[in-house]
Each structure stands twice: as structure tokens, then as C-alpha cells.
Amino acid sequence: MIDPTPGKRTELSSLGEFGLIKHLTDSFVCEQPSTIKGIGDDAAVIDYGDKVTLVSTDLLVEGVHFDLAYMPLRHLGYKCATVNFSDIVAMNGTPRQLFVGISVSNRFPVEALEEIYEGIKLACKRYKVDLAGGDTTSSVHGLFLSLTVTGEAAKEDVVYRNTAKENDLICVTGDLGSAYMGLLLLEREKKVFEADPGMQPDLAGFDYILERQLKPEPRTDIIELLKTVGVKPTAMIDISDGLASEVLHICEDSGLGCRIFEDKIPLDAMTIAAAEEFNIQPVTAAMNGGEDYELLFTINMNDFEKVKDLEGINIIGHMTEANSGVYLATNNGPLIQIEALGWNHMREEE
């Protein structure tokens, strides 16, 4: 039973659909002048003038995308919002409005949904995004969240995946593999608890990788930083399914190959330590782990001087002609063909 407020339980049926929507969203305040009409009508009205509207949607399913055994409900709300914002950022845009659809079983009281929406509210407030609509319905089993985010960008600023050029430099932000190692740590402690409910989880000293898994942040700061130095990426994508998968997207869509250099991939010391504890190569976590929500982008080689010393950006390789293939140059010499071994939403159960 999920009840974040011991001793208090309000049944969903006591509010009804529209009463529940009002209860959960009444405290949200629209901050964007482009939100002409938000919650309270058949559709939101958004006016961007001469700018383009960017829209992305995501579906999160309990037991597939998140595990409530270790995912706090408020963190779930925050994460499901920010990972959607990241899709807009990956287009070189700014997220503006969020729409939340939720399907929930009677296993959840109102207080559980309040926690989720508190997390959504924190994300919206931090990134100045308006909750502008959504829907609720019942579920036979579990919790489902469907989120749509809209954003804006000047037409000339939008960046796609298929516009990289040969000899472009390949860049990533932040560090990679940390979210995956945080997930492995949580999964390990869950199994220990299931085997012996009297055991307390051993999570001390791993705050960073746990936060990277439970509370990812979209890299809006990098978008602003690049604009400040006068650099527009030639192609861009966010790293949700692992570096390998995202590199392949850019290569395939742009009709090119690439070389990534293992010693240039940024890794945090805690990620390295955790990987060694799990007997995993840190570069494997970076290439195939996913959920880092950092940015992978290419730039014209003439912009090298502008970005080489920017904090939070690492140049990890370059684009090549298509016939040269997509390879990782390892520290000990050989080239390894890059394959997408990360998260596959439609993979058959083993």
C-alpha cells in the first residue's frame, strides 16, 4: 500500500475526476506570457508569434520505466517532467508548457498523487515551465504517466539529428554512466531487502550517482553557454539510451561515420568506483547505460577554440565519411565497432 502520509488517506473516488484535477493543479501559477489559456478548457492556447512550437511526448509505465520500491513519488514526478524538458533542450529550444496524463489504480490514494504532482511542480518552477493541461483515468493495475512538453525556438536556432557534417567535432556535456551505476546500486539494495526485510539499504557515499538516477536535470545551461560564445551545434541529441545509441542516431540520420576516443569520454570518480565494485568497465556504463540526459552534439571544427576550454563540455571524437564506420578507439589500441546495447523499450523479455 502506498500512503506517503501515515494516518491520512483520501480515496480518489471522494473527489472525482475533475475535482481531483482541480485539487492537484490549483496551486500552479502560469508564468509564461505565451500561455494564453492553460488548465480549465478543452485545450491550452499558446501563442509563440514568429517562433516555432516544439512538442515532445513520453510514456512512463510502472515496472518498466520506474520501480516504486526505491523511486520516491516526488522524485518520480520531478524526473518524468525534466526528462521531457530535455527533449526540447536537445532541439536547441526552451521548454514552455507541460501536459500530464496519468492512469492510476485504486491502490493509490490522493496523497500519493499529491506527491507526484509536488515533484512536477518543483520541476516546473525550477525551469519556468507551465503545467497547461492533461488528463486522468483509472487503471486496472499500476501507474502510467504520459507527458507532453511544448517549447519554442527561433526557426534559425533549431538543431536536428541529421545535420552533422564530415569532420565535425563530437562533444558531450557533463559525465556519463553515473545514472546507470545509480540504478544498479538501487537494484542491488532492493534484492538485499527482498531477501531480508530487516536489512537496511547500504547507500552511504553514493549520493551523486543516486541523484543522477533519481533526479536528472536537463542541460538548459549548456544551451545558454553555447549561445554566449556564438556556437550553434550542427546536430544534437540528448543521451537517454546510452552514448552508443545516440551516436548511432546522429551517424545514421546524417549519413556519416565517426570515431569516439575512449580516453576522452568523461567519467566521474564515483561512477568509476561503483563500476569497479560491480565488476563493470566504466566505459561500458557510459556507452550503454543511459538516463544521463546529458547532451551529445557536433560542432564545426572551426569552433574548436570557442569550446575547448568551456566547463562542462568535452570533445570526444569527430565525424567521418560514411564508409569508415562507427567506431570506438580504445585506450589499448584496437577499434571497436559501436553497437546500440542500451535501453530498448520494445525488447522482448528474456
Percent of the chain with pLDDT over 90: 71
Query: Do both 88 and 121 map to the same domain?
Result: yes
Query: Do both 125 and 193 map to the same domain?
Result: no
Between CA 272 and CA 281 the distance in angstroms is 8
Query: Do both 51 and 141 map to the same domain?
Result: yes
Average the pLDDT over 26-33 and give the result. Answer: 88
Residue 82 inside a domain? The answer is yes
Q: Assess whether pLDDT exceeds 60 at residue 344.
A: no
pLDDT tens for each residue of 278-319: 999 999 999 999 999 999 999 999 999 999 999 999 999 999
Query: Do both 332 and 226 map to the same domain?
Result: yes
Domain boundary among 124, 157, 190: 157
- Band the pLDDT of 345: cuts 50, 70, 90: very low
Residue 276 inside a domain? The answer is yes
- The CATH number of whichever domain residue 271 belongs to comes to 3.90.650.10
Between CA 242 and CA 336 the distance in angstroms is 16
Domain boundary among 109, 124, 157: 157
Q: Where are the alpha helices (DSSP H) in 107-219?
A: 110-127, 178-195, 207-214
Q: Assess whether pLDDT exceeds 50 at residue 134.
A: yes
Average the pLDDT over 186-206 and give the result. Answer: 86
Only one residue has cell 517562433, namely 51
Query: Three-state SS for 224?
Result: helix
Query: Do both 102 and 212 map to the same domain?
Result: no
Number of other residues whose CB lies within 10 A of the CB of residue 284: 15
Instruction: Return the higher-pLDDT residue of 163 and 14.
Output: 163
Residue 288 inside a domain? The answer is yes
Query: Do both 126 and 205 map to the same domain?
Result: no
Minimal CA–CA distance to 291: which of 224, 221, 220, 210? 210
Minimal CA–CA distance to 285: which of 247, 313, 243, 246? 243
Between CA 213 and CA 231 the distance in angstroms is 30
- Band the pLDDT of 350: cuts 50, 70, 90: very low
Query: Do both 82 and 113 map to the same domain?
Result: yes
Sheet holding 335-337, edge to edge: 235-238, 295-299, 169-173, 313-320, 257-261, 326-329, 335-337
pLDDT tens for each residue of 139-187: 988 999 999 999 999 889 999 999 999 999 999 999 999 999 999 999 9
CB 224 within 8 A of CB 92: no
Only one residue has cell 528474456, namely 350
Domain boundary among 157, 179, 197: 157
Q: Assess whether pLDDT exceeds 60 at residue 1.
A: no
Number of structural domains the chain divides into: 2
Between CA 124 and CA 27 the distance in angstroms is 12
Residue 347 inside a domain? The answer is no
Q: What pLDDT is attached to residue 13? A: 84
| β-bridge partners, 98 | 131, 149
Q: Assess whether pLDDT exceeds 80 at residue 342.
A: no
Residue 349 inside a domain? The answer is no
Between CA 312 and CA 307 the distance in angstroms is 10
pLDDT tens for each residue of 33-87: 888 888 776 667 788 777 888 888 888 999 989 999 999 999 999 999 999 999 9
The listed range with the strongest mean pLDDT (133-137, 142-146, 198-202) is 142-146
Q: Quick one: CA dihedral 83, 88, 89, 95, positive or negative?
A: negative
Query: Do both 191 and 135 map to the same domain?
Result: no
Query: Do both 104 and 151 map to the same domain?
Result: yes
Query: Do both 69 and 147 map to the same domain?
Result: yes
Query: Do both 179 and 264 map to the same domain?
Result: yes
Query: Do both 88 and 199 map to the same domain?
Result: no
Average the pLDDT over 219-230 and give the result. Answer: 97
Q: Quick one: CA dihedral 120, 125, 127, 132, positive or negative?
A: positive
Q: Estimate to the nearest angstrom the gap between the alpha carbon of 296 and the chain centroid.
A: 13
Q: What pLDDT is attached to residue 349? A: 43
Range of the domain at 72: 12-157
Residue 34 inside a domain? The answer is yes
Which pTM was predicted?
Answer: 0.88
Q: What is the mean pLDDT of the chain?
A: 91
- Here the cell at position 83 is 526528462
Residue 344 inside a domain? The answer is no
- The CATH number of whichever domain residue 116 belongs to comes to 3.30.1330.10
pLDDT tens for each residue of 81-104: 999 999 999 999 999 999 999 999
Residue 346 inside a domain? The answer is no
Between CA 236 and CA 116 the distance in angstroms is 30
Three-class SS of 64-115:
CCECCCCCCHHHHHHHHHHHHHHHHHCCCCEEEEEEEEEEECCCCCHHHHHH
Contacts of 78 (CB under 8 A, 6+ apart): 119, 120, 122, 123, 215
